[in-house]
Amino acid sequence: MLKFLVLSDLHLVDETETSHGLDTHLRMEKAIDWINTNHGDADFCVLAGDLADIGFKGAAQPYERLKTLVSRLSVPCHMTIGNHDSRDMFVSAFGEDKRAETGCIDRVVDAKGYRVILLDSVVEGDEHSHGGQLSQRQLDWLRVRLDEHAGPVVVVLHHHANPLHVRVDRIIMEEGERFVEVLKTHGDVRQVLCGHVHFTSCGLWHGIPFTSIAGNHYNVTVPLTPGSKVDRLWGPAQMAVVLGNQDQTLVHFDNFFDGNPVLG
């Protein structure tokens, strides 16, 4: 049985700083302690972007702090980036070898018959965009990575590609249908997991399961009624626990920070 973890939206800041009043470094410390205590049997974990809060503005210290944090993990760790990150700042901390031949932070992890593909959906340029995209070069790379693996596949990226029909669709991944068309060439894509939206959702889009996790930062209320207010919430801080064998791929949502008291 494959077991791996997905965490997203760390939003790490410089020492002594907070993000929206939250000590994101403390929250990540708590996540690592939780993994080491409760998920030491995992094959690996994935960090799915927004590693830094203002990496795209040139902040370097959050990536150095992250290096120290992940060194404490008892399981291997793989990473890609999100819209709050800088590709160059990430590489300066973690090494040029983290870039794939696409020029982006794309990666393949093979374990127990599964292929897990990490995709970098960041748009970088003069005007930093909080939406996402995959370049044609990345889509071609993805198609080859799918073609060369006959077994089940899970894809992890930062941005949501499937419309959620709420306000966050303003910063959705662009041209998600092109992404789906590549995924459909494989025939056994078990899950597409993302962060970015700060809430949990599950759906089937063009026949492929898409899931978002709340992540390590603030959670949000989901504005299902048009015009309704969106509130930021202290928790839960959440990771996905993915379990997979030939017959099933299951996603659990494990809240390592939760304000709910235990009932007697």
The tens-digit pLDDT sequence of the chain (264 residues) is 999 999 999 999 999 999 999 999 999 999 999 999 999 999 999 999 999 999 988 889 999 999 999 999 999 999 999 999 999 999 999 999 999 999 999 999 999 999 999 999 999 764 567 999 999 999 999 999 999 999 999 999 999 999 999 999 999 999 999 999 999 999 999 999 999 999 999 999 999 999 999 999 999 999 888 778 899 999 999 999 999 999 999 999 999 998 887 887
Which residue ranges form the domains of the chain, and what is each CATH number? 2-257 (3.60.21.10)
pLDDT at 238: 97
Q: Name the pTM for this structure.
A: 0.96
Contacts of 217 (CB under 8 A, 6+ apart): 9, 10, 11, 19, 20, 22, 24, 27, 50, 198, 237
CA dihedral of residues 173, 174, 175, 180 (deg, nearest 10): -10
pLDDT at 15: 94
pLDDT at 126: 46
Single-letter amino acid, residue 39:
H
pLDDT at 129: 74
Which is it for strands 219-220 and 232-233: parallel, antiparallel or unpaired?
antiparallel
CA 96-69-105 angle, 5° bins: 30
Per-residue CA distances from 101 to 97, 124, 164, 246 (Å):
10, 17, 31, 30
pLDDT at 18: 96
pLDDT at 186: 98
